[in-house]
Amino acid sequence: MSLLVKGGTVVGPTGTQVADVLVEGEKIVAVLDPAFSQTITVDEVIDAAGKYVIPGGIDAHTHMELPFGGTAASDTFDTGTRAAAWGGTTTIIDFAVQRTGEVVQDGLAAWHAKADGNCHIDYAFHMILGGVDDDSLKAMDQLVSDEGVTSFKLFMAYPGVFYSDDGQILRAMQTARENGAMIMMHAENGIAIDVLVQQALARGETDPIYHGITRPAALEAEATNRAIALAEVAQDCPLYIVHLSASQALEHVAAARDAGRNVFAETCPQYLYLTLEDQLGAPGFEGAKWVCSTPLRSKHESHARDLWKGLRSNDLAIVSTDHCPFCMKDQKELGLGDFSKIPNGIGGVEHRVDLIYQGVVDGQLSLERWVETIATTPARMFGLYPQKGIVAPGSDADLVVYDPNATTRISVETHHMNMDYSAYEGVEIQGGVGTVISRGEVIVADGNYHGRKGRGKFLERGLSSYLM
């Protein structure tokens, strides 16, 4: 099967060019000046004139089916990867979980069992370490060398659930420094946050907005700074701060990067577009829709503006979604009358490519930086490059034909995620995903879905290409 994506503007991290993309089987075999492809015969031609041709999106932070707070994220690997495909994402990196006291490899096996045969697009795993001890440190080496899992997430938040203390974090960082893995950090001071939560509840402050008020930016900044210091002590262990939302945390990341440290960070669309007051502070219980951690920040401060600037300057390397959807009915409702019982998470895996493209329209990012933050850098950061993340000969034919003349209106009525609301209800994007190709197969075209569950493959990842 051969395919020619014809006449589009191919966008990569280093520039744009009008070119034809020739696909044979699952791979891109050439990116051609249109004058040279006139004589080529192919099985199928996709007209991309007037449109952008970009590498398929890579969402490096998703939580399909994650058990949390007495329930589980409402998208399965089936529904979540299908929704991702609709939105132009052709690879996800999800988080396998080692619960405290559990063998790391058993946790990984459990996540393979959930995903295997159910994914519509390619997928890989990071590993959450819920208990750092001698056995799990040994397991880190084994996952890096044999399992294609080269990044490990630790939590400075959620005491009693995923929390690691500073000694555990340091030991995991020292191990990562040896085996080349990336340490990913949920950087919030969970011990202090739990005190603020108990004090708020004791005062009768139970509405969803108190979720944000009890997780102040200062405690994200403090934890970010502490993680950076611990990584320095671990001989500059590579560190990746997940879902960074506060300006003060970004300042610590920027300072570390200016000092030449192996410190990276991502943010998420919710922190670029949504706020503590307008969403989390919605009347009654509605704010529960936007309970996530780190929380949405105040619109009266400069967070969103600073995050866009961080994306431009590469102090923020990646936009991921932290996709962790819960329905209002029966799930978010667990926290009626007590915000601390609202499951933490927002669904957005379907909308990331669009929402960050809107940043291009709004003059926040260049086209090149759009592609870099949603596809190329995630591939390079997490050992998938150049198989993924670039439109180039030899790479997997994961392509999105993106139409800058389309309009996309985000709504629960039209989205494909398994959620009974949209966190971005009514938001209009001045652009839209047209055709989506995954390893040479057209899975979305003309508003129709042609993919299928089980076609997505597990990807064994190498080490980050940013590190020596």
Contacts of 224 (CB under 8 A, 6+ apart): 185, 187, 241, 244, 249, 252, 253
Nearer to Zn ion, 266 or 322 (CB): 322
Does 75 interact with Zn ion (rule: CB under 5 A)? Answer: no
Does 222 interact with Zn ion (rule: CB under 5 A)? Answer: no
Q: Which two tokens stand for residue 464?
A: 């980050």
Does 122 interact with Zn ion (rule: CB under 5 A)? Answer: no
Does 188 interact with Zn ion (rule: CB under 5 A)? Answer: no
Nearer to Zn ion, 62 or 422 (CB): 62
- Give the nearest distance from C-beta 59 to Zn ion in angstroms: 11
Nearer to Zn ion, 55 or 347 (CB): 347
Contact window for Zn ion (CB under 5 A) among 125-133, 218-226, 316-324, 433-441: 316-324
CA–CA gap between residue 290 and residue 463 (Å, rounded): 34
Does 441 interact with Zn ion (rule: CB under 5 A)? Answer: no
Nearer to Zn ion, 60 or 371 (CB): 60
Contact window for Zn ion (CB under 5 A) among 317-325, 336-344, 427-435, 445-453: 317-325
Whether the ω angle into residue 378 lies within 30 degrees of 0, i.e. cis, is no
**Between residue 228 and residue 267, which ones bind Zn ion under the rule CB under 5 A?**
none
Does 306 interact with Zn ion (rule: CB under 5 A)? Answer: no
Contact window for Zn ion (CB under 5 A) among 138-146, 176-184, 284-292, 315-323: 315-323
Contacts of 69 (CB under 8 A, 6+ apart): 334, 341, 342, 343, 344
Nearer to Zn ion, 95 or 285 (CB): 95
CA–CA gap between residue 293 and residue 284 (Å, rounded): 20
Residue type, 150: T
- Give the nearest distance from C-beta 89 to Zn ion in angstroms: 16
Does 350 interact with Zn ion (rule: CB under 5 A)? Answer: no
Quick one: which of 322, 354, 403, 441 contacts Zn ion (CB under 5 A)?
322
Size of the site for Zn ion (CB under 5 A): 1
Contact window for Zn ion (CB under 5 A) among 123-131, 322-330, 356-364, 442-450: 322-330
CA–CA gap between residue 332 and residue 322 (Å, rounded): 17
- Give the nearest distance from C-beta 238 to Zn ion in angstroms: 18
Does 220 interact with Zn ion (rule: CB under 5 A)? Answer: no
Residue type, 336: L
Contact window for Zn ion (CB under 5 A) among 157-165, 208-216, 273-281, 319-327: 319-327
CA–CA gap between residue 92 and residue 39 (Å, rounded): 37
Choose among 148, 10, 83: nearest CA to 321: 83
- Give the nearest distance from C-beta 19 to Zn ion in angstroms: 36
For residue 186, CA distances in Å to 6, 163, 412, 430 come to 43, 9, 29, 33
Choose among 162, 181, 183, 106: nearest CA to 463: 181
Does 94 interact with Zn ion (rule: CB under 5 A)? Answer: no
Does 147 interact with Zn ion (rule: CB under 5 A)? Answer: no
Q: How far from chain centre, in Å, is Cα 451?
A: 22
DSSP state of 347: -
Residue with nearest beta carbon to Zn ion: 322
Contact window for Zn ion (CB under 5 A) among 84-92, 260-268, 318-326, 386-394: 318-326
Contacts of 42 (CB under 8 A, 6+ apart): 2, 3, 4, 22
- Give the nearest distance from C-beta 18 to Zn ion in angstroms: 38
Contact window for Zn ion (CB under 5 A) among 116-124, 281-289, 320-328, 348-356: 320-328
Q: What is the Cβ-side half-sphere exposure of residue 283, based on CA atoms within 13 angstroms?
A: 0
Judge contact between 336 and 285, C-beta under 8 A. Answer: yes
Interface residue list for Zn ion (CB under 5 A):
322
